Amino acid sequence: MLNITRRRGERVVLGDDVFISVLEVSGQTVRLGIDAPRSVRVYREEIWLEVKRENEASAHASGASLPADLPAPLKSDSGEGTRSNVVNPPPQS
């Protein structure tokens, strides 16, 4: 990992268009300012990580077939405009 020492007010540049500024240093806390193109997504690592883990848990959960016999949802018609593809049920395992 690259290690760079910076003081308050100094910046690091990633590529040509991502600028990370050290705004404030106070005890164990560092405030960073991030100036990046709109297309660059910026997350706090712990939030990114928990969503990544939840996505993986969803993709890997057992049960190829979801239960058909469900309690009635709050509303039955979702009104979703996005079209889906009807496929054969997964093979029972």
- Residue numbers of the site for another protein (CB under 8 A)? 38-39, 41-43, 47-59, 61-68, 70-76, 78, 80-91
Instruction: Using the minimum distance from each CB to another protein, give the nearer residue, 7 or 83.
Output: 83
Question: Integer distance in angstroms from the first to the last C-alpha of the chain?
Answer: 45
Q: How far is the CB of 12 from another protein (least distance, A)?
A: 20
Of 14, 21, 23, 19, nearest to 35 (Cα)? 19
**Angle 80-59-44 from CA coordinates, rounded to 5°:** 90
Longest CA–CA separation in the chain, Å: 61
Q: How far is the CB of 19 from another protein (least distance, A)?
A: 15
Instruction: Using the minimum distance from each CB to another protein, give the nearer residue, 23 or 42.
Output: 42
Q: How far is the CB of 37 from another protein (least distance, A)?
A: 9
The amino acid at residue 3 is: N
Instruction: Using the minimum distance from each CB to another protein, give the nearer residue, 16 or 80.
Output: 80
